[in-house]
Amino acid sequence: NAGVTQTPKFQVLKTGQSMTLQCAQDMNHNSMYWYRQDPGMGLRLIYYSASEGTTDKGEVPNGYNVSRLNKREFSLRLESAAPSQTSVYFCASTQAGGGRRSGTYEQYFGPGTRLTVT
Amino acid sequence: TQLLEQSPQFLSIQEGENLTVYCNSSSVFSSLQWYRQEPGEGPVLLVTVVTGGEVKKLKRLTFQFGDARKDSSLHITAAQPGDTGLYLCAGGSQGNLIFGKGTKLSVKP
């Protein structure tokens, strides 16, 4: 099992360009998440999908869109990149399908995408 | 807004020393998780605690969940260079996780 995979690993964009970050998991997990990690800010939730066919905003959704393509894949799109979106992006998945107790389930993280917007 | 504050933010110690890092909040969480993240990689779960007062041990690491489920601590005995990394606590809330900013630990040989 590969676990959670993310592509690309590194990306440099110019302001205003668009791109899609890809994420896939092979653990048959119901829920998937996109986080960004910035120095001194910890991990902040951008969007999540509690189950196939549903998506919800997290703490910092502005400037991003997501698509839960199927149970395995959850993509994050930047329509018009800005320097403030320079960050490391992590995708994660968990077995739980949402609900109050889903926070007790282990989240499995991908290796991250390092994005620089100039 | 629920927040988790971790302290200290940075910690640099010699191999063999003991250390404790803390995770505090004014909010009650249904569960508390600890993750370790190494440079260039994603976080990896170390432990989940769900009951107030719960203590879990993982080799030289001891995790405690506060009685009121608002805080947690991680104690490492006889730290080794392999313990170096970013330690993140995360609280379960309404189905998602809220992460602290982390404690960056460096253990020097």
Average pLDDT over residues B8-32: 94
Tell me, yes or no, if A109 comes closer than 8 A to chain B by beta carbon: yes
Search chain A and give the residue with CA nearest B45.
Answer: A106
Pairing of strands A4-7, A56-57: unpaired
Q: What are phi and psi of B22, to 5 degrees?
A: -125, 150
At residue A100, the pLDDT reads 55
Q: What is the mean pLDDT of each run of 10 residues along chain A (118 residues)?
A: 92 97 95 93 92 92 96 97 97 76 77 97
Q: A66 CA to chain B: closest CA distance, Å?
A: 17
A39 — contact with chain B (CB < 8 Å)? Answer: no
R_g over Cα of chain A: 13
Q: What is the pLDDT, as a whole number, of residue B92?
A: 83
Q: Do residues A75 and A66 lie in contact, with contact meaning Cβ atoms separated by under 8 Å?
A: yes
CB B50 within 8 A of CB B31: yes
Q: What is the pLDDT of residues B37-51, one digit of tens each?
A: 998 899 999 999 988
Residue A95: the pLDDT is 83
Note every long-range contact of B37-41, with CB atoms under 8 Å and residues 24 or more positions apart, other chains counting.
Answer: B37/B85, B37/B86, B37/B87, B37/B88, B37/B102, B38/B84, B38/B85, B38/B86, B39/B85, B40/A111, B40/A112, B41/A111, B41/A112
Out of B33, B94, B100, closest to residue A42 by CB: B100
- DSSP-H helix ranges across chain A: none
Q: Out of B30, B43, B88, whose CB is closest to A103?
A: B30
Residue B105 C-alpha, separation from nearest chain A C-alpha, in angstroms: 14
Q: What is the pLDDT of residue B73?
A: 97
Q: What is the pLDDT at residue A99?
A: 57
